[in-house]
Chains A and B, each alone.
Chain A
């Protein structure tokens, strides 16, 4: 089973700052990596798929990069509504797993 680790666990930043979130896989997942955002009391929302493709309606300040085992989600300039928990997710054969999440909170 492929294990995803996310770092840092918590990222404390101010609005307008740049956020860089990391997701590392225990073995290669090629580009089959997605990112989700979850706000309190809400269902998660797909942000990025295939490592770097923004989902429909996702603002351009969100970008994804990486392949193989190392991936990054970047929020270029944090808006107040971006403070949330972010999860990465991979597919390997018929097993899908999520990372433990990174919480982006207000400094």
Chain B
């Protein structure tokens, strides 16, 4: 079964750093792009960026460029989304997705709460 398993919920304070993960299984991890999608509470879906684990080619939405870093470790079939300094406005659900031009496999999501 093809699946993406995301790390658990996080509660952080403003200014803290964070790295969440997404582990792929059931398919060739290095042959598909992995993307990240944000959903703020009660809002719609926002595409953040993608990485190709085979060669670490990474693309970002202009809205998220410089705000987050996407990386991957192909040896353990895991992609990451990280922040160096969280803001309250980063509070959201974050989904990792297997990415063609459409997104055919979704993780269950990681809830990130940033609050002082």
A residues engaging B (CB < 8 A)? 1, 32, 34, 36, 38, 43-46, 49-50, 55, 87, 89, 91, 94-101
Contacts and interface: CB of A to CB of B under 8 A. Distances in A.
Given A44-B106, A100-B44, 4 more contacts: A46-B103, A89-B102, A96-B35, A96-B47
Nearest to A101: B44
Which of A34, A43, A99 counts the most B-chain CB atoms under 10 A from its CB? A43
Interface string B41-62: 0001111001000000001011
A32 B104 contact: no
Given A43-B106, A44-B95, A45-B106, A87 B44 contact: yes
Interface residues of B, number: 19
Nearest to A92: B101
Say whether chain A's binding surface is mostly helix, strand, loop, or mixed: strand
Interface in B48-89: 50, 59, 61-62
Contacts of B100: 49
Interface of B: 35, 44-47, 50, 59, 61-62, 95, 100-104, 106-109
Given A94-B59, A95-B61, A89 B44 contact: no
Contacts of A87: 44-45
A25 to B, nearest CB: 14
Nearest to B95: A43
